[in-house]
Amino acid sequence: MPRTTVGIIGAGPAGLLLSHLLHRQGIDNVVLELRDRTYVERRQRAGILEQDTVDVLRLSGAGARMDRQGLEHHGIELRFDRRSHRIDFPSLTGGRSVMVYAQTEVVKDLIALREEADGTILFEAEALSVDGIETDRPAVRYRHDGAEHTLDCDFVVACDGFHGIGRRSLPEDVLTVTERTYPFSWLGILADVAPSCDELIYAHHERGFALHSMRSPEVSRLYLQVDPDDSTDNWPDERIWDELEARFAVDGDWELKRGPITEKSITPMRSFVAEPLRHGRLFLAGDAAHIVPPTGAKGLNLAVADVTLLAQALTRHHTRGDESLLDAYSETALRRVWRAEHFSYTMTTLLHSSPDDNDFDRALRLSHLRYLANSAAASASLAENYVGFSDN
Protein backbone atom coordinates (compact mmCIF):
# COMPACT_ATOMS: atom_id res chain seq x y z
CA MET A 1 0.00 0.00 0.00
CA PRO A 2 2.32 2.79 -1.22
CA ARG A 3 0.32 5.98 -0.76
CA THR A 4 -2.90 7.69 0.35
CA THR A 5 -3.96 11.28 0.93
CA VAL A 6 -4.81 10.95 4.64
CA GLY A 7 -3.41 8.23 6.88
CA ILE A 8 -5.60 7.74 9.97
CA ILE A 9 -4.29 5.89 13.01
CA GLY A 10 -7.08 4.38 15.10
CA ALA A 11 -10.49 2.91 14.23
CA GLY A 12 -12.46 4.30 17.12
CA PRO A 13 -15.35 6.67 16.44
CA ALA A 14 -12.99 9.58 15.67
CA GLY A 15 -10.91 7.76 13.07
CA LEU A 16 -13.87 6.00 11.48
CA LEU A 17 -16.00 9.14 11.26
CA LEU A 18 -13.12 11.12 9.77
CA SER A 19 -12.58 8.36 7.20
CA HIS A 20 -16.28 8.43 6.31
CA LEU A 21 -16.48 12.23 6.07
CA LEU A 22 -13.37 12.39 3.87
CA HIS A 23 -14.69 9.66 1.59
CA ARG A 24 -17.89 11.66 1.05
CA GLN A 25 -15.72 14.51 -0.19
CA GLY A 26 -13.72 12.31 -2.53
CA ILE A 27 -10.58 12.26 -0.37
CA ASP A 28 -8.90 8.86 -0.23
CA ASN A 29 -7.74 7.62 3.15
CA VAL A 30 -6.55 4.52 4.99
CA VAL A 31 -7.31 3.59 8.61
CA LEU A 32 -4.79 1.58 10.66
CA GLU A 33 -6.13 -0.08 13.81
CA LEU A 34 -4.06 -1.97 16.39
CA ARG A 35 -6.87 -4.22 17.60
CA ASP A 36 -9.01 -6.76 15.78
CA ARG A 37 -12.48 -5.89 14.55
CA THR A 38 -14.31 -7.83 17.26
CA TYR A 39 -12.48 -5.93 20.01
CA VAL A 40 -13.15 -2.56 18.36
CA GLU A 41 -16.86 -3.24 17.97
CA ARG A 42 -17.25 -4.40 21.58
CA ARG A 43 -15.13 -1.72 23.28
CA GLN A 44 -17.45 -0.14 25.87
CA ARG A 45 -17.20 3.61 26.16
CA ALA A 46 -19.57 6.58 26.13
CA GLY A 47 -23.24 6.43 25.34
CA ILE A 48 -24.46 10.05 25.36
CA LEU A 49 -24.45 11.98 22.07
CA GLU A 50 -24.75 15.76 22.10
CA GLN A 51 -27.08 17.51 19.69
CA ASP A 52 -24.18 18.50 17.40
CA THR A 53 -22.93 14.91 17.30
CA VAL A 54 -26.39 13.64 16.40
CA ASP A 55 -26.63 16.27 13.66
CA VAL A 56 -23.24 15.32 12.18
CA LEU A 57 -24.14 11.63 12.09
CA ARG A 58 -27.47 12.35 10.44
CA LEU A 59 -26.07 14.75 7.84
CA SER A 60 -23.28 12.33 6.94
CA GLY A 61 -25.67 9.43 6.39
CA ALA A 62 -24.49 7.60 9.51
CA GLY A 63 -27.57 8.18 11.67
CA ALA A 64 -30.25 5.83 10.32
CA ARG A 65 -29.90 3.08 12.94
CA MET A 66 -29.28 5.66 15.65
CA ASP A 67 -32.64 7.28 14.83
CA ARG A 68 -34.38 3.90 14.95
CA GLN A 69 -32.79 2.53 18.10
CA GLY A 70 -31.40 5.51 20.01
CA LEU A 71 -33.20 7.03 22.96
CA GLU A 72 -33.72 10.79 22.75
CA HIS A 73 -33.47 12.42 26.16
CA HIS A 74 -34.81 15.85 27.02
CA GLY A 75 -33.25 16.24 30.44
CA ILE A 76 -31.36 14.76 33.36
CA GLU A 77 -32.24 14.26 37.01
CA LEU A 78 -30.10 15.51 39.89
CA ARG A 79 -30.50 13.74 43.24
CA PHE A 80 -29.22 14.93 46.58
CA ASP A 81 -30.60 15.16 50.13
CA ARG A 82 -33.10 12.40 49.19
CA ARG A 83 -34.76 14.76 46.72
CA SER A 84 -34.97 14.79 42.94
CA HIS A 85 -34.61 17.80 40.60
CA ARG A 86 -35.04 17.66 36.82
CA ILE A 87 -33.10 19.83 34.37
CA ASP A 88 -35.23 20.27 31.23
CA PHE A 89 -33.00 20.67 28.16
CA PRO A 90 -35.36 21.88 25.40
CA SER A 91 -36.92 24.68 27.44
CA LEU A 92 -33.49 25.91 28.56
CA THR A 93 -31.53 25.52 25.30
CA GLY A 94 -33.93 26.44 22.51
CA GLY A 95 -35.12 22.90 21.83
CA ARG A 96 -31.81 20.98 21.96
CA SER A 97 -31.50 17.51 23.49
CA VAL A 98 -29.16 14.48 23.66
CA MET A 99 -29.32 10.93 22.36
CA VAL A 100 -28.49 7.75 24.27
CA TYR A 101 -26.76 5.52 21.72
CA ALA A 102 -23.74 3.46 22.68
CA GLN A 103 -20.31 4.08 21.19
CA THR A 104 -20.19 0.41 20.22
CA GLU A 105 -23.16 1.00 17.93
CA VAL A 106 -21.70 4.17 16.42
CA VAL A 107 -18.54 2.20 15.61
CA LYS A 108 -20.50 -0.67 14.05
CA ASP A 109 -22.46 1.77 11.89
CA LEU A 110 -19.33 3.53 10.66
CA ILE A 111 -17.47 0.30 9.90
CA ALA A 112 -20.47 -0.89 7.89
CA LEU A 113 -20.49 2.35 5.89
CA ARG A 114 -16.77 2.12 5.15
CA GLU A 115 -17.25 -1.48 4.03
CA GLU A 116 -20.09 -0.48 1.70
CA ALA A 117 -17.80 2.11 0.14
CA ASP A 118 -14.86 -0.32 -0.14
CA GLY A 119 -12.89 1.83 2.30
CA THR A 120 -9.61 0.50 3.65
CA ILE A 121 -9.49 -0.33 7.36
CA LEU A 122 -6.55 -2.50 8.34
CA PHE A 123 -7.29 -4.21 11.64
CA GLU A 124 -4.42 -5.67 13.69
CA ALA A 125 -2.10 -3.12 12.10
CA GLU A 126 0.31 -1.72 14.68
CA ALA A 127 1.60 1.78 13.97
CA LEU A 128 5.30 1.79 14.81
CA SER A 129 6.31 5.36 13.97
CA VAL A 130 5.14 8.52 12.27
CA ASP A 131 7.96 9.98 10.23
CA GLY A 132 8.55 13.12 8.21
CA ILE A 133 5.78 15.16 9.77
CA GLU A 134 7.64 18.41 9.10
CA THR A 135 7.80 17.60 5.38
CA ASP A 136 5.08 17.37 2.74
CA ARG A 137 5.52 13.57 2.59
CA PRO A 138 4.84 12.16 6.06
CA ALA A 139 4.66 8.40 6.46
CA VAL A 140 3.36 5.86 8.95
CA ARG A 141 5.47 2.76 9.48
CA TYR A 142 3.32 -0.14 10.66
CA ARG A 143 3.32 -3.90 11.18
CA HIS A 144 0.57 -6.01 9.62
CA ASP A 145 0.35 -9.76 8.98
CA GLY A 146 3.82 -10.25 10.41
CA ALA A 147 5.56 -7.80 8.07
CA GLU A 148 6.50 -4.12 8.27
CA HIS A 149 5.05 -1.65 5.77
CA THR A 150 5.16 2.08 5.11
CA LEU A 151 2.10 4.17 4.32
CA ASP A 152 3.04 7.42 2.56
CA CYS A 153 0.53 10.23 3.06
CA ASP A 154 -0.09 13.90 2.51
CA PHE A 155 -1.40 14.17 6.07
CA VAL A 156 -1.50 11.93 9.15
CA VAL A 157 -4.29 12.12 11.73
CA ALA A 158 -3.71 10.34 15.04
CA CYS A 159 -6.99 9.10 16.54
CA ASP A 160 -5.20 6.34 18.44
CA GLY A 161 -6.15 7.19 22.01
CA PHE A 162 -4.25 8.22 25.09
CA HIS A 163 -1.64 5.46 24.82
CA GLY A 164 -1.14 5.65 21.06
CA ILE A 165 1.95 6.61 19.13
CA GLY A 166 0.44 9.72 17.56
CA ARG A 167 0.91 12.21 20.37
CA ARG A 168 4.33 10.76 21.20
CA SER A 169 5.42 11.57 17.65
CA LEU A 170 5.33 15.31 18.36
CA PRO A 171 8.73 16.76 19.33
CA GLU A 172 9.09 17.13 23.09
CA ASP A 173 9.97 20.82 22.79
CA VAL A 174 6.70 21.42 20.91
CA LEU A 175 4.24 19.49 23.08
CA THR A 176 2.70 20.90 26.26
CA VAL A 177 0.66 18.60 28.50
CA THR A 178 -1.76 19.75 31.21
CA GLU A 179 -3.43 17.17 33.40
CA ARG A 180 -5.25 16.41 36.66
CA THR A 181 -5.82 13.10 38.42
CA TYR A 182 -8.86 12.74 40.68
CA PRO A 183 -8.82 10.88 44.02
CA PHE A 184 -11.58 8.45 43.01
CA SER A 185 -12.60 6.06 40.23
CA TRP A 186 -15.83 4.68 38.78
CA LEU A 187 -17.05 1.13 39.15
CA GLY A 188 -19.19 0.64 36.04
CA ILE A 189 -21.61 -2.19 35.37
CA LEU A 190 -23.80 -3.40 32.53
CA ALA A 191 -26.95 -5.20 33.66
CA ASP A 192 -29.63 -7.08 31.75
CA VAL A 193 -32.49 -5.20 33.33
CA ALA A 194 -34.77 -2.45 32.10
CA PRO A 195 -33.68 1.01 33.31
CA SER A 196 -35.30 2.26 36.48
CA CYS A 197 -35.55 5.77 35.04
CA ASP A 198 -36.59 7.55 31.85
CA GLU A 199 -33.59 9.90 31.91
CA LEU A 200 -30.11 9.78 33.43
CA ILE A 201 -29.84 10.19 37.19
CA TYR A 202 -26.80 11.97 38.66
CA ALA A 203 -26.78 11.33 42.40
CA HIS A 204 -24.67 13.04 45.06
CA HIS A 205 -24.56 11.14 48.34
CA GLU A 206 -22.39 11.31 51.43
CA ARG A 207 -21.14 7.80 50.55
CA GLY A 208 -20.18 8.91 47.05
CA PHE A 209 -21.48 9.61 43.57
CA ALA A 210 -23.75 7.31 41.55
CA LEU A 211 -25.03 7.48 37.98
CA HIS A 212 -27.93 5.62 36.41
CA SER A 213 -27.70 5.46 32.62
CA MET A 214 -28.86 2.95 30.02
CA ARG A 215 -27.82 1.35 26.75
CA SER A 216 -31.27 0.28 25.54
CA PRO A 217 -34.78 -0.31 26.91
CA GLU A 218 -33.52 -3.69 28.14
CA VAL A 219 -29.96 -2.90 29.30
CA SER A 220 -28.93 -0.57 32.14
CA ARG A 221 -25.54 1.08 32.62
CA LEU A 222 -24.74 2.18 36.18
CA TYR A 223 -21.75 3.63 38.01
CA LEU A 224 -20.51 3.98 41.58
CA GLN A 225 -17.74 6.19 42.90
CA VAL A 226 -15.04 3.97 44.45
CA ASP A 227 -11.47 4.37 45.66
CA PRO A 228 -8.77 4.46 42.95
CA ASP A 229 -7.11 1.30 44.28
CA ASP A 230 -10.36 -0.66 44.61
CA SER A 231 -10.97 -3.91 42.73
CA THR A 232 -14.05 -5.47 41.16
CA ASP A 233 -13.25 -8.51 43.33
CA ASN A 234 -14.46 -6.46 46.29
CA TRP A 235 -17.84 -5.87 44.68
CA PRO A 236 -20.09 -8.94 44.45
CA ASP A 237 -23.36 -8.27 42.65
CA GLU A 238 -25.50 -7.95 45.76
CA ARG A 239 -23.17 -5.38 47.29
CA ILE A 240 -23.28 -3.30 44.09
CA TRP A 241 -27.08 -3.25 43.99
CA ASP A 242 -27.33 -2.43 47.71
CA GLU A 243 -24.91 0.47 47.36
CA LEU A 244 -26.65 1.82 44.27
CA GLU A 245 -29.98 1.64 46.07
CA ALA A 246 -28.59 3.58 49.03
CA ARG A 247 -27.07 6.35 46.89
CA PHE A 248 -30.13 6.78 44.66
CA ALA A 249 -32.60 6.78 47.56
CA VAL A 250 -35.25 9.52 47.56
CA ASP A 251 -38.32 10.18 49.62
CA GLY A 252 -41.17 8.55 47.73
CA ASP A 253 -41.90 5.28 45.99
CA TRP A 254 -39.06 5.12 43.41
CA GLU A 255 -37.51 1.66 43.16
CA LEU A 256 -34.21 0.49 41.67
CA LYS A 257 -34.70 -2.54 39.42
CA ARG A 258 -32.14 -5.30 39.82
CA GLY A 259 -30.96 -7.84 37.27
CA PRO A 260 -28.03 -9.99 36.12
CA ILE A 261 -24.77 -8.03 35.91
CA THR A 262 -22.93 -8.92 32.70
CA GLU A 263 -19.87 -6.68 32.97
CA LYS A 264 -17.87 -4.90 35.69
CA SER A 265 -14.91 -2.56 35.31
CA ILE A 266 -13.16 0.21 37.22
CA THR A 267 -12.20 3.39 35.38
CA PRO A 268 -9.77 6.01 36.76
CA MET A 269 -10.78 9.65 36.56
CA ARG A 270 -8.47 12.18 34.95
CA SER A 271 -8.36 15.34 32.87
CA PHE A 272 -5.70 15.72 30.19
CA VAL A 273 -5.01 18.18 27.37
CA ALA A 274 -2.12 18.13 24.89
CA GLU A 275 -1.26 21.29 22.97
CA PRO A 276 -0.90 21.99 20.10
CA LEU A 277 -3.16 19.58 18.21
CA ARG A 278 -1.10 20.00 15.05
CA HIS A 279 2.58 19.93 14.18
CA GLY A 280 3.56 19.95 10.54
CA ARG A 281 1.46 17.37 8.72
CA LEU A 282 0.45 15.48 11.88
CA PHE A 283 -2.89 16.22 13.60
CA LEU A 284 -4.22 14.90 16.92
CA ALA A 285 -7.91 14.17 17.53
CA GLY A 286 -10.03 12.56 20.22
CA ASP A 287 -8.39 10.82 23.19
CA ALA A 288 -4.96 11.19 21.58
CA ALA A 289 -5.33 14.90 22.30
CA HIS A 290 -7.51 15.17 25.38
CA ILE A 291 -9.21 13.18 28.14
CA VAL A 292 -12.17 14.33 30.23
CA PRO A 293 -13.68 12.61 33.26
CA PRO A 294 -16.88 10.92 32.09
CA THR A 295 -19.16 12.87 34.43
CA GLY A 296 -19.90 15.45 31.75
CA ALA A 297 -20.39 12.90 28.91
CA LYS A 298 -17.97 14.79 26.65
CA GLY A 299 -15.28 12.36 25.45
CA LEU A 300 -16.95 10.93 22.34
CA ASN A 301 -18.54 14.27 21.52
CA LEU A 302 -15.20 16.09 21.58
CA ALA A 303 -13.75 13.45 19.27
CA VAL A 304 -16.60 14.00 16.80
CA ALA A 305 -16.13 17.78 17.00
CA ASP A 306 -12.39 17.41 16.33
CA VAL A 307 -12.75 15.28 13.21
CA THR A 308 -15.65 17.36 11.89
CA LEU A 309 -13.33 20.37 11.94
CA LEU A 310 -10.54 18.33 10.37
CA ALA A 311 -12.78 17.01 7.61
CA GLN A 312 -13.82 20.55 6.73
CA ALA A 313 -10.22 21.77 6.80
CA LEU A 314 -8.88 18.90 4.69
CA THR A 315 -11.72 19.34 2.21
CA ARG A 316 -10.91 23.05 1.87
CA HIS A 317 -7.29 22.16 1.19
CA HIS A 318 -8.23 19.40 -1.26
CA THR A 319 -10.72 21.48 -3.28
CA ARG A 320 -9.19 24.96 -3.11
CA GLY A 321 -5.58 24.53 -2.02
CA ASP A 322 -6.48 26.67 1.00
CA GLU A 323 -4.71 25.70 4.26
CA SER A 324 -6.28 28.38 6.46
CA LEU A 325 -8.63 25.97 8.26
CA LEU A 326 -5.79 23.48 8.75
CA ASP A 327 -3.66 26.25 10.24
CA ALA A 328 -6.53 27.22 12.56
CA TYR A 329 -7.46 23.67 13.59
CA SER A 330 -5.56 23.48 16.88
CA GLU A 331 -6.72 26.85 18.21
CA THR A 332 -10.31 26.31 17.06
CA ALA A 333 -10.61 22.80 18.49
CA LEU A 334 -8.97 23.71 21.79
CA ARG A 335 -11.55 26.39 22.54
CA ARG A 336 -14.22 23.70 22.65
CA VAL A 337 -11.92 21.26 24.44
CA TRP A 338 -11.25 23.64 27.31
CA ARG A 339 -14.97 24.49 27.65
CA ALA A 340 -15.70 20.77 27.92
CA GLU A 341 -12.81 20.27 30.34
CA HIS A 342 -14.19 22.96 32.61
CA PHE A 343 -17.73 21.58 32.51
CA SER A 344 -16.53 18.02 33.17
CA TYR A 345 -14.31 19.19 36.03
CA THR A 346 -17.21 21.16 37.54
CA MET A 347 -19.64 18.24 37.33
CA THR A 348 -17.03 15.86 38.74
CA THR A 349 -16.02 17.94 41.73
CA LEU A 350 -19.63 18.94 42.41
CA LEU A 351 -21.09 15.45 42.51
CA HIS A 352 -18.28 13.37 44.03
CA SER A 353 -17.12 13.16 47.61
CA SER A 354 -13.40 13.67 48.18
CA PRO A 355 -11.32 11.97 50.89
CA ASP A 356 -10.12 15.43 51.92
CA ASP A 357 -13.59 16.95 52.31
CA ASN A 358 -14.38 18.85 55.49
CA ASP A 359 -17.69 20.29 56.68
CA PHE A 360 -17.07 23.50 54.75
CA ASP A 361 -16.49 21.61 51.47
CA ARG A 362 -19.63 19.54 51.93
CA ALA A 363 -21.75 22.60 52.69
CA LEU A 364 -20.45 24.43 49.61
CA ARG A 365 -21.25 21.45 47.41
CA LEU A 366 -24.82 21.21 48.68
CA SER A 367 -25.25 24.95 48.25
CA HIS A 368 -24.15 24.69 44.62
CA LEU A 369 -26.54 21.79 43.99
CA ARG A 370 -29.46 23.73 45.50
CA TYR A 371 -28.57 26.70 43.31
CA LEU A 372 -28.63 24.50 40.18
CA ALA A 373 -32.00 23.09 41.21
CA ASN A 374 -33.65 26.42 42.02
CA SER A 375 -32.09 28.98 39.67
CA ALA A 376 -33.29 29.10 36.06
CA ALA A 377 -30.03 30.77 35.02
CA ALA A 378 -27.88 28.10 36.70
CA SER A 379 -30.02 25.30 35.24
CA ALA A 380 -29.74 26.86 31.78
CA SER A 381 -25.95 26.99 32.05
CA LEU A 382 -25.78 23.31 32.99
CA ALA A 383 -28.20 22.36 30.21
CA GLU A 384 -26.36 24.43 27.58
CA ASN A 385 -23.06 22.77 28.39
CA TYR A 386 -24.57 19.28 28.62
CA VAL A 387 -26.27 19.32 25.21
CA GLY A 388 -23.13 20.85 23.68
CA PHE A 389 -21.77 24.36 23.74
CA SER A 390 -19.10 25.85 21.53
CA ASP A 391 -17.95 29.41 20.88
CA ASN A 392 -16.22 28.39 17.65
294 catalytically annotated: yes
| Percent of the chain that is helix, strand, coil (3-state, to 5) | 40, 30, 35
Sheet strands side by side (includes 125-131):
125-131, 139-144, 147-152
Task: Exactly one of 182, 223, 329, 386 is catalytic; name it.
Answer: 386
Task: Exactly one of 20, 23, 73, 204 is catalytic; name it.
Answer: 73
Task: Exactly one of 23, 298, 318, 352 is catalytic; name it.
Answer: 298
| Collapsed DSSP state (helix, strand, coil) of residue 6 | strand
Strands 201-203 and 75-80: parallel
Strands 220-226 and 210-214: antiparallel
Task: Exactly one of 101, 294, 329, 352 is catalytic; name it.
Answer: 294
85 catalytically annotated: no
386 catalytically annotated: yes
Task: Exactly one of 101, 142, 182, 202 is catalytic; name it.
Answer: 202
101 catalytically annotated: no
In 3D space, the residue among 189, 346, 155 whose CA is nearest the CA of residue 261 turns out to be 189
Bridge partners (DSSP) listed for residue 76: 87
CA distances from 233 to 41, 94, 260, 300, 337 (A): 26, 46, 17, 29, 35
298 catalytically annotated: yes
Distance CA 133, CA 135 (A): 5
Active site residues: 73, 202, 294, 298, 386
